């Protein structure tokens, strides 16, 4: 999986004797780049799509811990100073002036079965074929690349994991999808098999990138005011197939069958 450069933007809060706040911003409009899901991106998305309530002081404080750790440490000890900062945060989020990411990408592996000369395609092996799939794991902090130290949910060197922002997200598709075969003309299929044989790719592996767009929050699952898992609504908008693990050698794109 690859990381995408993000746009850095300074976002200042107006007010006399009130601290300026800055954060990493993403373009949520059309044309935004696809990127690997991260805990921070998904947390910002959850907040900006009203999956959690910014009017809850704990939510506002966790947002500050995630984005303005130094400011939080400096001001939180003073009840009145911190209340001013918290109100700034609430106003900012309610006005939707922060940007957030809605487009993500996930990488995977497929394997080709034997070529079907009648339909001129490679069926995918049963282990890698997708048939009427209705959901996909978008993010799991237990295995996510951005959580190698296993503490991504500990904000601002806190003593406990955040109760506001969960570490698990499921993409619930607006329509189930099927991706169970790779269609190639016979001459291209023959060339592909010869290339795989020369590279000793006996498993006939290929590498895919799923690109998806989130359209809203479906459900936040929790227990005693603790967010545990989030279901988001969305759709897979593209599947690109590559010959190599690093995804530098493009092969084709897939037309998904939707039911």
Is 2 among the domain residues?
A: no
Q: What is the mean pLDDT of residues 177-205?
A: 96
Same domain, 90 and 159: no
As for how many domains the chain has, the answer is 2
Same domain, 50 and 112: no
**Which residues have CB under 8 Å from 236's CB, separation 6+?**
136, 173, 177, 210, 211, 212, 256
Exposed / middle / buried, residue 80 (Cβ in 10 Å: 0-12, 13-18, 19+)? exposed
Confidence of residue 18 (pLDDT cuts 50, 70, 90): very low
Boundary residue ending a domain (52, 70, 94): 94
Strand-pair category, 257-258 with 168-179: antiparallel
Same domain, 76 and 126: no
The residue range of the domain holding 221 is 105-258
State the average pLDDT for the chain: 86
Is 100 among the domain residues?
A: no
pLDDT top residue among 159 and 13: 159
Q: Is residue 103 a contact partner of residue 213, using CB atoms and an 8 Å limit? A: yes
Confidence of residue 258 (pLDDT cuts 50, 70, 90): low
Is 99 among the domain residues?
A: no
Confidence of residue 29 (pLDDT cuts 50, 70, 90): very low
Q: Is residue 134 a contact partner of residue 128, using CB atoms and an 8 Å limit? A: no
Same domain, 149 and 196: yes
> Any idea which of 8-12, 84-88, 154-158, 243-247 has the lowest mean pLDDT?
8-12
Same domain, 80 and 117: no
Q: What is the mean pLDDT of residues 180-203?
A: 97
Q: Which of 3-17, 24-38, 153-167, 190-204 has the highest mean pLDDT?
A: 190-204
The H helix count followed by the E strand count for the chain is 5, 11
> Any idea which of 59-68, 87-96, 218-227 has the lowest mean pLDDT?
218-227
Is 38 among the domain residues?
A: yes
CB atoms within 10 A of CB 29: 8
pTM: 0.82
Q: Is residue 23 a contact partner of residue 98, using CB atoms and an 8 Å limit? A: yes
Same domain, 139 and 201: yes
Is 1 among the domain residues?
A: no
What percent of the chain stands above pLDDT 90?
74
Matching residue, tokens 């911190």: 82
d(CA 29, CA 44): 15
d(CA 3, CA 26): 14
**Which residues have CB under 8 Å from 85's CB, separation 6+?**
18, 19, 21, 64, 71, 75
Matching residue, tokens 């069958």: 257
Same domain, 134 and 243: yes
pLDDT in the model for residue 132: 93
Q: Is 85 helix (H, G, I), strand (E, B) or coil?
A: helix
Same domain, 71 and 140: no
Same domain, 88 and 121: no
Is 45 among the domain residues?
A: yes
CA distances to 108, 143, 163, 209 from 148, in Å: 19, 8, 20, 22
Is 3 among the domain residues?
A: no
Boundary residue ending a domain (43, 67, 94): 94
> Any idea which of 47-51, 132-136, 143-147, 226-230 has the lowest mean pLDDT?
226-230
- The number of angstroms, rounded, from the C-alpha of 214 to the middle of its chain's C-alpha atoms is 9
Beta strands in the chain (DSSP E): 8-9, 23-24, 103-111, 121-123, 130-140, 168-179, 181-183, 205-223, 226-242, 250-253, 257-258
Same domain, 216 and 197: yes
Same domain, 48 and 131: no
Q: What are phi and psi of 80, to 5 degrees?
A: -75, -40
Same domain, 58 and 19: yes
Q: Is residue 100 a contact partner of residue 165, using CB atoms and an 8 Å limit? A: no
Boundary residue ending a domain (36, 68, 94): 94
Is 191 among the domain residues?
A: yes
pLDDT in the model for residue 21: 40
């Amino acid at each position: 999986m690859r990381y995408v450069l993000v746009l850095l933007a300074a976002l200042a809060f107006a007010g006399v004797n009130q601290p300026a706040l800055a954060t990493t911003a993403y373009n949520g409009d059309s044309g935004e780049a696809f990127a690997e899901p991260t805990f921070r991106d998904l947390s910002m998305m959850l907040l900006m799509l009203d999956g959690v309530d910014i009017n809850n002081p704990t939510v506002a404080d966790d947002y500050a811990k995630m984005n303005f750790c130094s400011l939080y440490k400096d001001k939180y000890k003073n009840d009145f100073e911190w209340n001013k900062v918290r109100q700034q945060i609430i106003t900012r989020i309610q006005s939707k002036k922060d940007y957030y990411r809605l487009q993500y990408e996930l990488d995977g592996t497929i394997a080709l079965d034997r070529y079907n000369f009648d339909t001129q395609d490679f069926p995918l092996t049963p282990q890698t074929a997708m048939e009427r799939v209705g959901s996909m794991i978008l993010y799991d902090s237990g295995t996510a690349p951005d959580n190698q130290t296993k503490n991504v949910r500990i904000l601002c060197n806190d003593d406990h994991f955040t109760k506001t922002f969960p570490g698990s997200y499921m993409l619930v598709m607006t329509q189930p999808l099927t991706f169970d075969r790779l269609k190639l003309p016979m001459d291209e299929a023959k060339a592909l098999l010869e290339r795989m044989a020369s590279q000793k790719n006996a498993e006939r592996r290929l590498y895919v990138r799923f690109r998806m767009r989130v359209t809203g929050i479906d459900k936040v699952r929790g227990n005693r005011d603790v967010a545990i898992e989030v279901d988001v609504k969305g759709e897979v908008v593209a599947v690109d197939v590559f010959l190599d693990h690093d995804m530098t050698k493009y092969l084709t794109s897939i037309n998904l069958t939707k039911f």
